[in-house]
Structure 1
Amino acid sequence: MTATKGNLLEGKNILVTGVTHDTSIAFAVARFAQEQGATVLISNFGRALRITQRIAKRLPELPPVLELDVTDPEHLAALPAMVREHLGEDATLDGVVHSIAYGNPETLLGGNFLEGPWEDVAQAVQVSAFSLKSLAVAARPLMPAGGSIVGLTFDATVAWPAYDWMGVAKAGLESTSRYLARDLGPQGIRVNLVSAGPLRTLAAKAIPGFGDLEDMWKTRAPLGWDNTDTEPTARAVVALLSDLFPATTGEIVHVDGGFHAMGA
Structure 2
Amino acid sequence: MIVDSHCHLDFPDFDGEREALIDRARAAGVELMVTICTRIRKFDQIRALAEQFDNVYCSVGTHPNNADEERGIPKDEILKLTEHPKVVAIGEAGLDYFYDYASPEAQAEGLRTHIAVARETGLPLVIHSRDADADMAAILEEEMEKGAFPAILHCFSSGRDLALKGVELGLYVSFSGILTFKRSEEIRAIAAEIPADRLLVETDAPYLAPQPRRGKRNEPAYTAMTAQVLGETRGVSFDEISRQTTENFFRLFRKVPVAPGFEHVRS
Identify the TM-score tier after normalising by the shorter chain.
Answer: 0.3 to 0.5
TM-score using structure 2 length: 0.41
TM-score using structure 1 length: 0.41
